[in-house]
A and B are shown apart, each in its own frame.
Chain A
Amino acid sequence: MSDIKGTENKSAIPKDDEEKRVGVFVCECGVNIGGVVNTKAVADYIGTLPGVKVTSVNKFTCSDSGQADIQAKIKEHNLNRVVVAACSPKTHEPTFRACIEEMGLNQYFLEFVNIRDHCSWIHMWEKEKATEKAKDLVRMGVERSKLLEPLQASEVPVTDKALVIGAGVAGMQSALDLADMGFHVYLVEKEPSIGGRMARFDKVFPTNDCSICILGPKMVEVARNKNIHIMSYSEVKAVDGYVGNFNVKIEHKPRYLDVAKCTGCAKCSEVCPVEVPYDFNEGLGTRKAIYVPFPQAVPLRALIDMDNCISCKACAKACESKAINYDMEPSYTDVNVGVIIGAVGFKTYDPEPRHDFGYGLYDNIITAMEFERLLNAAGPTGGHVVRPSDCKEPIRVGFVNCVGSRDKNTNIYCSGVCCMYTIKNAQLLKEKRPETDHTIMYIDIRTPFRGYEESYNRSRNLGVKFLRGRPVEVTEDPVTKNIKVRVEDTLTQEMRNLEFDLMVLATGIVPNEGIGQIQQLLKLSKAADGLLMEAHPKLKPVDTTIDGVFLAGCASGPKDIPYAVSQGSACAGRATIMLKNKKAITEGITAVVNPDVCVGCEVCISMCPFQAIRMDEQAVKANVVKALCKGCGTCVAACPTGALEQSHFKNNQILAQVKNVFKFQEVAA
């Protein structure tokens, strides 16, 4: 490919017949390895292997002094292969590759052996066996290292455009930051309006600002920004390519009206005869089959819910700008971007299927999101909190925390935000109607960030009661429809029988629908809790294992708003490194064809998941397109003649390890 060039050849490429001079550096990782594995015994044993010129044990090989030791020994012993026996190559390989490259060695002359995660940490009580295993692992590495060949990493150009998936507050922040730095951003949102979950909240803790009042201006800012191309009511359908060069197919779901003509006047909704539960209000109240998502929607355009439309065509008659088009089909846009930010958000836990704490069985039990909409002045009741059974304003309100969180039957993790929003919700109703009486039933109250503990204290001062315990029995009074709760106050160890007019469940944060699809499209990892995994939980919290793909917001775990916004900005910052440099480095590991051995059978072509192998028309030989090859080695294993090799994972390199797994075998020379 003409647009791919190798990096400057900084390293001397020794001939294959050069004597292999291996240096082995065994790391103690403080006591992480040294406390279990006898590192000196490992080094002494490895020192007896042919080709090993020097061994060294360091307290921390990755430290300055540890790396200086490697560099000094490369110089002193004229080493041409370096084996580091330490932690995981997934975190530290780049460090040591750079270390040896500085000394003029090709970075692929490093062999990394994991004797911590795969040895000392998992055999903590079997020190001798762990030491023997470490010897075996390092020996495998030493023998492989002697066969390593120099490779050049490729530099790929980076398209200076970004795709942000999800236009909640995290995704909007990413888009705004990138746009303000001068990069073009495609902001894809599956809902008909941007804004995400935050647009549905009434007030936000700990300061109790009106949510849409602070979010609305940000939504307008996104819409006005010339560098941001909003694609609302759209979904990512296909992603291919690689860092710097992703090709993305986006589907625009039909709104059944021309957005260029629609003015969002909502005259169509006025005449529409169909009423369905209003999803934006958590199913409370109704909307029409043709509707504007909510008053502050961006873009402020209507859409038709075709599942419920009865085709009476009243809206078409009412629409002054003649925007309605009942025959609209989905349309598609292909975009090319350099980086992708996934901010796919969350949904709240649904207590309906399991009837948690009686939800779905008794009218007067609602979720916190439903409560949030009832509190909201633009909500179904104009801001009056009423109970569903009789639309009366409740006096005694009970709140149950940790519904769908911290529970081995649902989700074991803490959703992090429920304590705070419950405290806030109780405060808001207490302030609106001081005669109300609030009881929060909790496991633990968690208020870790700035202003949170203060908000909790404020609730206590307002007279909100906190009861440490979970309801064990929830029933309904058949006449009054009040909710009766039996709950143990675990602080006084007394059973309490309480009666509430309304009970609110603090439902937790769970993965959004479609997270699986995004995971597969972007090739990300999903954790056991269903949320997406970051590259490193501490040091790379917004990176993923896929170069050029970043994660912000609740897609990678429960977060509050400031945390989600910070991650949005962090993603923009990380992405800018690539976008501004206009280039990214990709691994040099690819498949390589030996044309002398290739018989042109084309087996490899059908195996390649990336269409990276093509036939050379004249010679009738397979030809690997390096820019497309991702170096999985599928074709290599399939090649019947052995014409294909995977660089850095060549047959002889892997077999050198296989041969050296077993102690009773003679060590391969």
Chain B
Amino acid sequence: MNTEVQTPDAWEPNILAFCCNWCSYAGADLAGVSRFQYPPTVKILRVMCSSRVEPAFILKALKDGADGVLVAGCHIGDCHYIDGNKNAEVRINNTKKALGKLGFDKRLRLEWISASEGLRFSEVIRDFTEEIMKLGQNPVKEVKK
């Protein structure tokens, strides 16, 4: 394990993004096709619907040291599965509330990004990365050392 003290400049957030197959994953594809550059801070995990994302996945990611977790789905009304994203909204907001007690709520974000919003995808990643930079590293990582 690296024991050097990392300067804030050297540190870059590590974000896990759960993207639904139909809208947000395709939006990320479009960001790529359009060459909208964004920081290499995010890794995308494809699920069929944002409603598949269980709080346990988010907790596991944060416990393992993710600096941020993004859950991205179709806009309300556009869900491929009618209203899966409404379920996701309830679930993620509840998870956020629970995380608030640990001061981790800002590390979880829910966004609606459609298949045509490549630019928006890149903007969301840039914005979330900046927010996480302000928050600093996931304190779990310090404990683990």
Using CB atoms and an 8 Å cutoff, list the residues of chain A in contact with chain B: 88-90, 114, 116-119, 121-126, 129-130, 132-133, 136-137, 140, 519-520, 523, 525-528, 533, 545-546, 589, 607, 609-610, 630-634, 636-638, 646, 649, 651, 654-655, 657-659, 661-662, 664-665
User: With A and B bound together, what is the CA distance between A140 and B45 in angstroms?
Assistant: 9
With contact pairs A140-B45, A661-B16 given, residues A609 and B116 touching in the complex (Cβ less than 8 Å): no
In the complex, the answer to whether B40 meets A662 with C-beta atoms within 8 Å is no
User: A204 CB to closest chain B CB, in angstroms?
Assistant: 31
Q: When the two chains form the complex, which single residue of A117, A655, A661 contacts B14, counting CB atoms closer than 8 Å?
A: A661
Using Cβ atoms and an 8 Å threshold, which residues of chain B touch A637?
51-54, 87, 91
In the complex, the answer to whether B81 meets A526 with C-beta atoms within 8 Å is no
With contact pairs A122-B38, A638-B87 given, residues A646 and B48 touching in the complex (Cβ less than 8 Å): yes
User: Is B102 on the interface with A (CB-CB < 8 A)?
Assistant: no
Using Cβ atoms and an 8 Å threshold, which residues of chain B touch A546?
80
Using Cβ atoms and an 8 Å threshold, which residues of chain A touch B29?
88, 90, 114, 117-118
User: With A and B bound together, what is the CA distance between A520 and B117 in angstroms?
Assistant: 18
User: Is B31 on the interface with A (CB-CB < 8 A)?
Assistant: yes
User: B138 CB to closest chain A CB, in angstroms?
Assistant: 10
User: With A and B bound together, what is the CA distance between A523 and B53 in angstroms?
Assistant: 21
User: Is B128 on the interface with A (CB-CB < 8 A)?
Assistant: no
User: With A and B bound together, what is the CA distance between A381 and B130 in angstroms?
Assistant: 63
Using Cβ atoms and an 8 Å threshold, which residues of chain A touch B81?
609-610, 630, 632, 634
User: With A and B bound together, what is the CA distance between A129 and B23 in angstroms?
Assistant: 26
User: Is B135 on the interface with A (CB-CB < 8 A)?
Assistant: no
For the complex of A and B, 8 pairs with smallest distance between CB atoms: A117-B32, A633-B52, A632-B81, A527-B116, A609-B82, A632-B49, A634-B51, A121-B32
Using Cβ atoms and an 8 Å threshold, which residues of chain B touch A527?
116
User: Is B112 on the interface with A (CB-CB < 8 A)?
Assistant: no
In the complex, the chain A residue whose C-beta lies closest to that of B47 is: A649
User: Is B77 on the interface with A (CB-CB < 8 A)?
Assistant: yes
Q: When the two chains form the complex, which single residue of A133, A528, A634, A662 contacts B66, counting CB atoms closer than 8 Å?
A: A662
In the complex, the answer to whether A133 meets B40 with C-beta atoms within 8 Å is yes
In the complex, the answer to whether A525 meets B22 with C-beta atoms within 8 Å is yes
User: With A and B bound together, what is the CA distance between A634 and B50 in angstroms?
Assistant: 8
In the complex, the answer to whether B78 meets A632 with C-beta atoms within 8 Å is no
- 12 contacting pairs across A/B (C-beta < 8 A): A114-B29, A140-B43, A523-B79, A525-B114, A526-B78, A527-B116, A607-B87, A609-B82, A632-B84, A651-B54, A655-B57, A665-B64
In the complex, the answer to whether B64 meets A528 with C-beta atoms within 8 Å is no
In the complex, the answer to whether B45 meets A525 with C-beta atoms within 8 Å is no
User: B76 CB to closest chain A CB, in angstroms?
Assistant: 11
User: With A and B bound together, what is the CA distance between A658 and B78 in angstroms?
Assistant: 27
Q: When the two chains form the complex, which single residue of A126, A136, A607, A665 contacts B43, counting CB atoms closer than 8 Å?
A: A136
User: Is B123 on the interface with A (CB-CB < 8 A)?
Assistant: no
Using Cβ atoms and an 8 Å threshold, which residues of chain B touch A658?
16, 45, 57, 60-61, 64
In the complex, the answer to whether A520 meets B32 with C-beta atoms within 8 Å is no
Q: When the two chains form the complex, which single residue of B22, B26, B40, B61 contacts A123, counting CB atoms closer than 8 Å?
A: B40
Q: When the two chains form the complex, which single residue of A126, A520, A589, A633 contacts B77, counting CB atoms closer than 8 Å?
A: A520
List residues of B (60-77) whose CB comes within 8 Å of A's CBs: 60-61, 64-66, 77
User: A587 CB to closest chain B CB, in angstroms?
Assistant: 9
User: B139 CB to closest chain A CB, in angstroms?
Assistant: 15
With contact pairs A659-B64, A665-B65 given, residues A589 and B16 touching in the complex (Cβ less than 8 Å): no
Q: When the two chains form the complex, which single residue of A130, A631, A636, A661 contacts B64, counting CB atoms closer than 8 Å?
A: A661
Using Cβ atoms and an 8 Å threshold, which residues of chain B touch A630?
80-81
User: With A and B bound together, what is the CA distance between A664 and B2 in angstroms?
Assistant: 9
Q: When the two chains form the complex, which single residue of B39, B44, B57, B60 contacts A118, counting CB atoms closer than 8 Å?
A: B44
User: With A and B bound together, what is the CA distance between A484 and B114 in angstroms?
Assistant: 45
User: Is B122 on the interface with A (CB-CB < 8 A)?
Assistant: yes
User: With A and B bound together, what is the CA distance between A137 and B17 in angstroms?
Assistant: 12
Q: 4 additional contacts, CB 8 Å, given A123-B39, A661-B16?
A: A607-B87, A632-B51, A655-B60, A662-B65
In the complex, the answer to whether B35 meets A121 with C-beta atoms within 8 Å is yes
User: With A and B bound together, what is the CA distance between A386 and B49 in angstroms?
Assistant: 57
In the complex, the answer to whether A117 meets B51 with C-beta atoms within 8 Å is no
In the complex, the answer to whether B35 meets A122 with C-beta atoms within 8 Å is yes
In the complex, the answer to whether A634 meets B49 with C-beta atoms within 8 Å is yes
User: With A and B bound together, what is the CA distance between A132 and B36 in angstroms?
Assistant: 19
Using Cβ atoms and an 8 Å threshold, which residues of chain A touch B25?
90
Using Cβ atoms and an 8 Å threshold, which residues of chain B touch A655?
57, 60
Using Cβ atoms and an 8 Å threshold, which residues of chain B touch A118?
28-29, 32, 44
In the complex, the answer to whether A525 meets B78 with C-beta atoms within 8 Å is yes
In the complex, the chain A residue whose C-beta lies closest to that of B121 is: A122
In the complex, the chain A residue whose C-beta lies closest to that of B61 is: A658
User: With A and B bound together, what is the CA distance between A634 and B53 in angstroms?
Assistant: 8
User: With A and B bound together, what is the CA distance between A526 and B48 in angstroms?
Assistant: 19
User: With A and B bound together, what is the CA distance between A657 and B16 in angstroms?
Assistant: 10
User: B55 CB to closest chain A CB, in angstroms?
Assistant: 8
User: With A and B bound together, what is the CA distance between A520 and B47 in angstroms?
Assistant: 21
User: B132 CB to closest chain A CB, in angstroms?
Assistant: 14
Q: When the two chains form the complex, which single residue of A132, A646, A661 contacts B52, counting CB atoms closer than 8 Å?
A: A646
User: With A and B bound together, what is the CA distance between A540 and B51 in angstroms?
Assistant: 28
In the complex, the answer to whether A633 meets B36 with C-beta atoms within 8 Å is no
User: With A and B bound together, what is the CA distance between A327 and B86 in angstroms?
Assistant: 41
In the complex, the answer to whether A634 meets B84 with C-beta atoms within 8 Å is yes
User: A367 CB to closest chain B CB, in angstroms?
Assistant: 28
User: A653 CB to closest chain B CB, in angstroms?
Assistant: 10
User: Is B111 on the interface with A (CB-CB < 8 A)?
Assistant: no
Using Cβ atoms and an 8 Å threshold, which residues of chain B touch A119?
40
In the complex, the answer to whether B80 meets A523 with C-beta atoms within 8 Å is yes
User: Is B105 on the interface with A (CB-CB < 8 A)?
Assistant: no
User: A650 CB to closest chain B CB, in angstroms?
Assistant: 11
User: With A and B bound together, what is the CA distance between A597 and B140 in angstroms?
Assistant: 33
User: With A and B bound together, what is the CA distance between A505 and B43 in angstroms?
Assistant: 49
Using Cβ atoms and an 8 Å threshold, which residues of chain A touch B2?
664
In the complex, the answer to whether B48 meets A633 with C-beta atoms within 8 Å is yes
User: B85 CB to closest chain A CB, in angstroms?
Assistant: 10
In the complex, the answer to whether B48 meets A117 with C-beta atoms within 8 Å is no
In the complex, the answer to whether A122 meets B91 with C-beta atoms within 8 Å is no
In the complex, the answer to whether B33 meets A121 with C-beta atoms within 8 Å is yes
List residues of B (78-127) whose CB comes within 8 Å of A's CBs: 78-84, 87, 91, 114-117, 122
Using Cβ atoms and an 8 Å threshold, which residues of chain B touch A664?
1-2, 65, 141
In the complex, the answer to whether A636 meets B45 with C-beta atoms within 8 Å is no
In the complex, the chain B residue whose C-beta lies closest to that of A126 is: B40
In the complex, the chain B residue whose C-beta lies closest to that of A654 is: B57
User: With A and B bound together, what is the CA distance between A252 and B61 in angstroms?
Assistant: 53
When each residue 1-17 of chain B gets 1 if its CB lies under 8 Å from chain A and 0 otherwise, what string results? 11000000000101010
In the complex, the answer to whether B80 meets A632 with C-beta atoms within 8 Å is yes
Using Cβ atoms and an 8 Å threshold, which residues of chain B touch A659?
60, 64
Q: When the two chains form the complex, which single residue of B35, B43, B77, B114 contacts A661, counting CB atoms closer than 8 Å?
A: B43
With contact pairs A658-B61, A665-B64 given, residues A633 and B49 touching in the complex (Cβ less than 8 Å): yes
With contact pairs A122-B31, A659-B64 given, residues A631 and B14 touching in the complex (Cβ less than 8 Å): no
Using Cβ atoms and an 8 Å threshold, which residues of chain A touch B115?
525, 533, 545
In the complex, the chain A residue whose C-beta lies closest to that of B58 is: A658
User: With A and B bound together, what is the CA distance between A636 and B81 in angstroms?
Assistant: 14
In the complex, the answer to whether B117 meets A528 with C-beta atoms within 8 Å is yes
Using Cβ atoms and an 8 Å threshold, which residues of chain A touch B66?
661-662
Using Cβ atoms and an 8 Å threshold, which residues of chain A touch B65?
662, 664-665
Using Cβ atoms and an 8 Å threshold, which residues of chain A touch B64?
658-659, 661-662, 665
